[in-house]
Amino acid sequence: MTSSAELVLDGLARRYGSTTAVARMDLTVAAGELVALLGPSGCGKTTTLRMVAGFIEPSAGRILLRGQDITTMPAHRRDTGMVFQSYALFPHLSVAENIAFGLKRRGVPKPDLAVRVARMVALLKLQGLEARLPRQLSGGQQQRVAVGRALVINPAVVLLDEPFSNLDALLREGTRIELRRLQTELGLTTLFVTHDQAEAMAISDRIAVMNQGRLEQLGTPREVYERPATRFVATFIGRANLFASRDGRSEDGIPLDGPDGTLVLRPERVVLDDAPAAGPNAVSGTVEVLSFLGTGTQAVLRLDGGRALLVEGPAALADHFRPGSRATARWMRADLVALPAEG
Ligand SMILES: Nc1ncnc2c1ncn2[C@@H]1O[C@H](COP(=O)(O)OP(=O)(O)OP(=O)(O)O)[C@@H](O)[C@H]1O
């Protein structure tokens, strides 16, 4: 039983005086899809979400839900369920009452209401906590109540604004897996705001990468990582070594076997050894930093030309090299990914 629906942002924009918070955003979220709005602080994520919710009036453009234009519809009539960063639970209402709130307002009869609240409590593993007040809950439990309150009304679209930002790393990871499971199970169309690229990668069907009010790229986590559309996307999502390549050389003289243009080389594509560099796609330097990450080792290689090259390799890297060691970095032609020319 789901009422999820396609959401379309058509040239959606918002200005504040001379500031453009969101510039002509075109985005379609398919029914049952989870799209993350990802970008640094101030890029317009929250403004976009709040326009969809009906809390901020757009300066231009349209919002369509199930094909219906809801751009000027009041927030409470939009059939959206929103979860705020602060949870915004009613402090004087119990867990069950908080979850039931939206159903009551919609005049859902009591027996039906009780069944739907109980189902949400079970789905969110909140059994036994129904009578507690929000202040008697942990951050993670409060977060789940906020999600329950938004989902129980069976909204056409779920809007989440950094819902895990108050949770510690471990709880955050557990909760986002739960949310993803629930979202997939219920087939909910979802817009999820985050500035955390790892979170966006882990949870999304597609990521909308935003920068300075603009949508820079829309794609699956793999697409935005492996085929970044712009320099901003390449450096915001994951780590990147960037070269300006021309006629087989980088701007700082590194011999490159790859196309001309701006090239992205991911640190995990680089291997280190102690043989001399010969030919293209190999360059020598001095190991400056070695950081053990648990899953591997990250190295900074200070190249003889002055540039710092980021390298990520197996944990054993730290057995072969020390800060101060000479090393050669190598990579394959296919590891140099050209950015489309930025116009
Ligand atoms: N009420 C307002 N008046 C003037 N400028 C505003 C207003 N609200 C937002 N802005 C500006 O619009 C831009 C986008 O803000 P928004 O809150 O959407 O960013 P965000 O990506 O959600 O950032 P954060 O991750 O920090 O919440 C920012 O430059 C912000 O200063």
First to last CA, the chain: 46
pLDDT at 343 over 60: no
Residue 52 Cα to ligand 1 middle (Å): 15
What is the number of the ligand 1 atom nearest to the C-alpha of 50? 18
> For position 44, what pLDDT does the model report?
96
Residue range 240-285, pLDDT digits in tens: 999 999 999 999 999 999 999 999 999 999 999 999 988 999 999 9
- CB 18 near ligand 1, within 6 Å: no
DSSP for 195-234, written as a single string:
S-HHHHHHH-SEEEEEETTEEEEEE-HHHHHHS-SSHHHH
Looking at ligand 1, which residue's alpha carbon is closest to its atom 10? 21
Residue 21 Cα to ligand 1 middle (Å): 6
Q: Which residues contact 162 (CB under 8 A, 6 or more apart)?
A: 85, 193, 194, 195
> For position 342, what pLDDT does the model report?
63
Residue range 15-64, pLDDT digits in tens: 999 999 999 999 999 999 999 999 999 999 999 999 999 999 999 999 99
Q: Which domains are delineated in the chain?
A: 7-234 (3.40.50.300), 240-338 (2.40.50.100)
Angle at 177 between CA 176 and CA 179, to 5 degrees: 60
pLDDT at 141 over 90: no
> For position 1, what pLDDT does the model report?
43
The fraction of the chain above a pLDDT of 70, given in percent, is 98
**Ligand 1 pocket: which of 47, 50, 82 to mutate (most atoms within 8 A of CB):** 47
- CB 16 near ligand 1, within 6 Å: yes
